[in-house]
Amino acid sequence: MTITIYGGPQTRASMPRWYLEEKGIPYELVELSLGSGQNMQPDFLAINPFGKLPAMRDDSVLDADGKPVTLFESGAILLHLAEHHGGEATSAHERSMISQWTHFANSTLAFAIFVPDQKTKVLPRLLKQLNIKLSENFLVGHAWGAADCAVTAYLAYIKLFFPNEDLSSYPRINSLIEETNQRPAYRKVMGMS
Ligand SMILES: N[C@@H](CCC(=O)N[C@@H](CS)C(=O)NCC(=O)O)C(=O)O
């Protein structure tokens, strides 16, 4: 079984890589340089025609022609890993909840962080509720999983991209970011020494 992640430094490949590292799932990393346009070469465009990182190839899941599945979009890759390798999504309800939180992270939370207008108007509302929700432990089930990975990775982006952002009104989010920054798996994929 070989999972190959196509990524590069400072790309959202860190998200599925963090999941794989935390779960101890072996994978191969193919690093592509955005700067030199390796993401726009035919070999990679055959995997993601949009030329975006991350992408994944998993030869343990085959398509109708017997070829290994290839996927793009960090959220779709996370959902695939949770379903096929992470031992998650053990019930229909859990599967739906993991999907909900992964989509929330990659769309609603991501927009609220990175679109300036949304950052002022929407982000505080999301952080207020997340601060409560994240005090309960894991987002889905009884173990850290794809939902936690996606939501936490975006919350950590806040301090990464906006170091002066004051999160003192959200103590659980603040402590979660600090704990995450200390995790060896996270430090490895983020290239933190
Ligand atoms: N929504 C996508 C975003 C993918 C994306 O924008 N990736 C960036 C790196 S983080 C990229 O490949 N940029 C290169 C380009 O657009 O040419 C995901 O989560 O996978």
The domain ranges of the chain are 3-84, 92-188
Which one, of 62, 74, 68, lies nearest residue 11 by Cα?
A: 74
**Topology of 92-188 in CATH?**
Glutathione S-transferase Yfyf (Class Pi); Chain A, domain 2 (1.20.1050)
pLDDT digits (tens, 9 = 90+) for 133-171: 999 889 999 999 999 999 999 999 999 999 999 999 999
Smallest CA separation from ligand 1 atom 6, residue: 52
pLDDT number for residue 88: 95
Measure the CA–CA gap between 175 and 167, rounded to whole angstroms. Answer: 10
pLDDT digits (tens, 9 = 90+) for 36-81: 999 999 999 999 999 999 999 999 999 999 999 999 999 999 999 9
Specify which residues 55 forms β-bridges with: 6, 72
Q: What are phi and psi of 27, to 5 degrees?
A: -155, 160
Q: How do beta strands 68-72 and 55-62 pair?
A: antiparallel
Encoding tokens for residue 88? 């998650």
pTM for this model (two decimals):
0.97
pLDDT digits (tens, 9 = 90+) for 1-34: 899 999 999 999 999 999 999 999 999 999 999 9
Asked if the model's pLDDT at residue 193 lies above 80, the reply is no
The 3-state DSSP composition of the chain as helix, strand, coil percent (nearest 5) reads: 55, 10, 35
Q: Which CATH class is domain 3-84?
A: alpha beta
Measure the CA–CA gap between 106 and 97, rounded to whole angstroms. Answer: 14
CA of 11 to the centre of ligand 1 (A): 7
Q: Looking at this protein, which amino acid is placed at residue 192?
A: M
Please work out whether the CB of residue 11 comes within 6 Å of at least one atom of ligand 1: yes
Please work out whether the CB of residue 39 comes within 6 Å of at least one atom of ligand 1: yes
Specify which residues 30 forms β-bridges with: 6
The answer to whether domain 3-84 and domain 92-188 are alike in fold is no
SS3 state of residue 145: coil
